[in-house]
Structure 1
């Protein structure tokens, strides 16, 4: 799939992002794709063409990055790949494929075509499995799970509190009515006794 005037950008990104079947495998094709999307090639390094996996590694997407390209120094001696997050940021992830297609030195994010293993994705239709792990996605998933569990516990505690409050209120109401009925019965008996004594 290529980006043309009749292809709509993917929703939920802060700038235009298009799904593609493959990312350009070399500098020449990368530059052709950049021209097609009208990305910048000037020295400001802004709005540079990028082609990366999406954050869950199910699609390859192309776009003009709306900020300065990213430099990629090593972390713990490893050089990482990038994915495009839903917020439009580039998140790093560890490339773990042993086929020597992973980054092995410093590079800029718009030069990722040099490292084909950074384009591996999980294609749900054919079951291909990526060897990439995105630690920021698993951390986000964990935080969402904790938030959901906390919200459910809060709602349960709130419901139990409301039920207890209403139960106590109802019990007090019954006790008050019972005393009132007893007083009325006692008054009726006194009235009856007085009437009987008066005869």
Structure 2
């Protein structure tokens, strides 16, 4: 059963603003429009980070209760535990996810929860901190240099006046 779920897909989400069909009629209509062929059937699956959904054509498979299908970051179908009201409470086929809208619900904001956004935030924070530290160090060294030069100039002038 796991072998069926290990096919890889392109990670382009469906058009912005579109959602997965949430009833059998809508699901069948979208399936006709999507044009899956042979043993592959229409699926609309939540991405692993819960930020978007993707429509794919793939063989159906049997899912266990308490599990929702997702696409991983690398493009593989997988299952995710579901333990909130509305989760699958029985075995079901992967192309019947519309029966469990909670499995299609986008819950995470891409800006704050995605792996790449977090890495960018940390990297940007470190970069800004290093820049500010370097700026403070440069200003401090500049002030010290100016004071020493001014003191050297003052000492040089005193020496000139004492010899005359």
Q: TM-score range by the shorter chain?
A: 0.5 to 0.7
Does the alignment pair 1:34 with 2:31? yes
Q: Within 1, Cα distance between the matches of 2:150 and 2:35?
A: 76
Q: Contact (CA 8 Å) 2:44, 2:55: kept in 1 or not? A: yes
Q: Is the helix fraction higher in 1 or 2?
A: 2
After superposition, the CA RMSD in angstroms is 4.5
Q: Within 2, Cα distance between the matches of 1:149 and 1:91?
A: 34
Q: Within 2, Cα distance between the matches of 1:153 and 1:72?
A: 51
4+ long deviations beyond 6 Å:
69-74, 87-92
Q: Contact (CA 8 Å) 1:52, 1:83: kept in 2 or not? A: yes
Once the two structures are superposed, the pairs formed by residues 188-199 of structure 1 within 5 Å of their partners are 189=164
**Relative CO higher for 1 or 2, CA cutoff 8 Å, sep ≥ 6?**
2
Does the alignment pair 1:149 with 2:135? no
Once the two structures are superposed, the pairs formed by residues 128-167 of structure 1 within 5 Å of their partners are 138=113, 140=115, 142-167=118-143
Aligned-residue offset at 1:33: 0.6
Q: Within 2, Cα distance between the matches of 1:52 and 1:144?
A: 23
Deviations 1:124-175 (A, max 9, x none): xxxxxxxx679xx746365454334323322221221111121122122212
Q: Contact (CA 8 Å) 1:24, 1:113: kept in 2 or not? A: yes
Q: Within 2, Cα distance between the matches of 1:144 and 1:172?
A: 42
TM normalised by structure 2 equals 0.58
User: Unaligned 5+ residue runs, structure 1?
Assistant: 1-12, 122-131, 190-199
Q: Contact (CA 8 Å) 2:66, 2:88: kept in 1 or not? A: no
Once the two structures are superposed, the pairs formed by residues 32-181 of structure 1 within 5 Å of their partners are 32-36=29-33, 38-43=34-39, 45=40, 48-50=42-44, 52=46, 63-65=54-56, 79-82=67-70, 94-99=81-86, 101-102=87-88, 104-105=90-91, 108=94, 110-120=95-105, 138=113, 140=115, 142-181=118-157
Q: Contact (CA 8 Å) 2:22, 2:101: kept in 1 or not? A: no
User: Unaligned 5+ residue runs, structure 2?
Assistant: 1-10
TM normalised by structure 1 equals 0.50
Q: Within 1, Cα distance between the matches of 2:134 and 2:141?
A: 11
